[in-house]
Structure 1
């Protein structure tokens, strides 16, 4: 059996009146000294009510959820905790609720709450069993203005995160480069105006995509190059190109990975998944900005045709790379795509995203993405976009004293220069970004989770998809509501 794609999410609606006979959810702010919002008269056990973010209590058929101090992160945590609690009761209770929100609730709070509701109950499981009964919809009841638009955008961002999770969670016996390309085509067909072109291994050979062909050469399932194009709905403006690593499974190649943790390598295309999902989200919002997404997709395997340490490969555009570690394959496929973007697409802004280095996991942990950039404005836009959508980024340096270490004695550049691995990987990629304002997002840490926190569940997190959509919106002529 296969898990259904896309994973169904909780529907969030907006209204100004309660439905008769439908159980309600009340909101409590503050800590243990809870302050209840509308509907306080429905509480039957005040001693069981807490305003701590994510705390829930049952009040007859109704529920109370705490939103802490009311920061967007508290509301996002509350939404996620609420939907998990309602899911646990769904087998014997209701599958729809009315949530009573204050009439002065802030838009960023509603957006964050919606995001938590939509994603907190995400569940990906390949099974032949019937799925358990779960909550299907929540209606936000408030007279606050503009809520419907805020919810609409938050729902789009949640759907993008969910799609990114779906693509990354899909097992690699199902997911190969051709499958990923087909999934991108299928998703794009549902969005008017979004175009997708898929190139096969013959085209890659003709165009001399040496990095993609080398990495994919050890697998019986050949590579693909996926290009998604959103032309925008306005006149002029910048052209944003997003590039995502699409390694559908990574054995490490001849520099084979340890067995422990290799099963997680089905998510090594999380950067590519984020780019695909971001283009879907940009198109669904009809943003008036031109955005192109590139996903070089390959499977890094061990075989007689696998590339070797010591090989010299020629990338698209002619730059040569000395291979020193076949497990550092992501930068090789990204190099081809970056060079292709610079030469053919003439971007005004170039951003790549990848689960690239274990070094970044050590540096920043599992909840923060590494941000490298050649342009201060772009770096600020990425960090601020992430903050608005609940994704954390930390800017890392492109150290000048390490630049010469990228040079090779037998090729133009070497794949794995010595020194701090996350930084030297970024310096390698910069060689292919030309003079375009460029950012590199290393999501090796936050792309996967081994436990539940906030709106995140175990498995692929979908990290970066929301940031990329919000980033694109900052270049749009008429920005819509932001999300907390």
Structure 2
């Protein structure tokens, strides 16, 4: 997707993209010797962040696209990412396929490439007519070897994000536990990746009572997917990412109402993040050890569905009273977390889950909720969120909240009443990780938001992939 060339020897493209800063409400060229190219449009163009203006009659390219980066002193990778996501959106709207890009001096080429590559996505698998046009070639003018390498890495990361998006966007009748198992097996074709799939018989043998309870209403068997990427075999550091894989959530006997069920095919967004992170690590050749563990099932309704008020025994032996069958995600995560801690012995563990509506009320669609028993891990994720644009906000795990999960007939209830819903969900999960450094990321508001952004052209965002990879590369 990305190549480089000198400005003076560039080949003809459909459009030339020019960067500008904003200075005292005026546009200032963000690269040498380009202001003259865009003089006819600078009267109205101010260079504000993500501002775009299209001009015609360029000397070589027919079209010039001016891109604003805002004030130079306030420019961050996220500003660059959004700006070039907007540029990509304009170019795709015009159905153009080749682009020449003048790089901004002082702007992040990695973020620039991310903006282009993340926007350059369409999901038309379910449409009878394919209308979207994707950019085929982007030439970075006068890019150094290191800058081109950054752009290529950004494209590989975006490929993994788009892989995750495809899973979330797909039909629930297509993206089943069995399909996720197939996808996990296909990942083993990547370098240094191995896959193991536990079927229902193996899950029964392991006595994962909570996963089996949730699965009782479905005619499709559950799976546990274990996908290992070993990029640093001599390193003792081993990160496990657990992703919630409820491929469709009716709510069970605590049935979701109309208006709350229509998007529940996306309740496997955590599994998409976990599998996408494995793909990204392999494509990028990261020198880390990363294992994805995905518990996957449907939460459907049947005469044998698990029932509110009943008690089930978890993998680690903790008994759980079912207060609400629509709090199923934490149940399957509990068995997966306990299994991962015991069998894989990670040095740290991060789970991603579209877990609670309460987190959407608290944070909206801008940030994911972060919960952790380890300050160092929490800080690493917070910093990775700021760098990647997949921001998180940390919530407390005070022991007093556990009082809300007390049960008269079991060790713990799977949920409380309405108060502190996201916190009590995380408190429940914490019971299954022991002393292992652990973080829970609630992506219910960020995995499939109503609002599209410049570099998220469909509702499925693939959130979690870039966050985790950024953390792995920096901590």
In structure 2, which of residues 98, 101, 118 is the aligned counterpart of residue 99 of structure 1?
101
CA displacement, residues 166-190 of structure 1 (integer Å, 9 cap, x when unaligned): 111101121110011112222442x
Match in the other structure for 1:20:
11
**Relative to 1, partners in 2 of residues 1:130 and 1:438: Cα closer, same or farther, differing over 3 Å?**
closer
- In structure 2, the residue corresponding to 1:309 is in which secondary structure? coil
Q: What is the alpha-carbon distance in structure 2 between the residues aligned to residue 392 and residue 439 of structure 1? A: 14
Contact 1:270 1:462 in 2 (8 A): yes
Q: What is the alpha-carbon distance in structure 1 between the residues aligned to residue 119 and residue 102 of structure 2? A: 19
Task: Quote how far apart the aligned CAs of 1:145 are.
Answer: 6.0
Alignment of 1:78-477 (within 5 A): 78-90=83-95, 94-102=96-104, 104-106=105-107, 109-125=108-124, 126-144=126-144, 146-189=146-189, 191-418=190-417, 419-475=419-475
> Which sits farther off after the overlay, 407-416 or 121-130?
121-130
Q: Which runs of 5 or more residues in structure 1 are unaligned?
A: 1-10, 476-484
**Relative to 1, partners in 2 of residues 1:470 and 1:148: Cα closer, same or farther, differing over 3 Å?**
same
CA displacement, residues 335-359 of structure 1 (integer Å, 9 cap, x when unaligned): 0001101111111101111010111
Q: Which runs of 5 or more residues in structure 2 are unaligned?
A: 57-62
- In structure 1, the residue corresponding to 2:191 is in which secondary structure? coil
Task: Quote how far apart the aligned CAs of 1:317 are.
Answer: 2.2
Match in the other structure for 1:479:
none
Task: Quote how far apart the aligned CAs of 1:407 are.
Answer: 3.2
Question: Alignment length, in residue pairs?
Answer: 458
Task: Quote how far apart the aligned CAs of 1:268 are.
Answer: 0.5
Match in the other structure for 1:57:
53
**Relative to 1, partners in 2 of residues 1:282 and 1:199: Cα closer, same or farther, differing over 3 Å?**
same
Task: Quote how far apart the aligned CAs of 1:81 are.
Answer: 0.7
- In structure 2, the residue corresponding to 1:444 is in which secondary structure? coil
Q: What is the alpha-carbon distance in structure 1 between the residues aligned to residue 416 and residue 325 of structure 2? A: 14
- In structure 2, the residue corresponding to 1:215 is in which secondary structure? helix
Contact 1:205 1:213 in 2 (8 A): yes
1:29 aligns with 2:9: no
Task: Quote how far apart the aligned CAs of 1:398 are.
Answer: 0.2
- In structure 2, the residue corresponding to 1:388 is in which secondary structure? helix
CA displacement, residues 292-332 of structure 1 (integer Å, 9 cap, x when unaligned): 11000000001112111011111112111111100000000
TM-score (norm 1): 0.91
**Relative to 1, partners in 2 of residues 1:261 and 1:123: Cα closer, same or farther, differing over 3 Å?**
farther
- In structure 2, the residue corresponding to 1:254 is in which secondary structure? coil
> Which sits farther off after the overlay, 146-155 or 272-281?
146-155
TM-score (norm 2): 0.93
- In structure 1, the residue corresponding to 2:232 is in which secondary structure? coil
Contact 1:195 1:230 in 2 (8 A): yes
Q: What is the alpha-carbon distance in structure 2 between the residues aligned to residue 453 and residue 139 of structure 1? A: 24
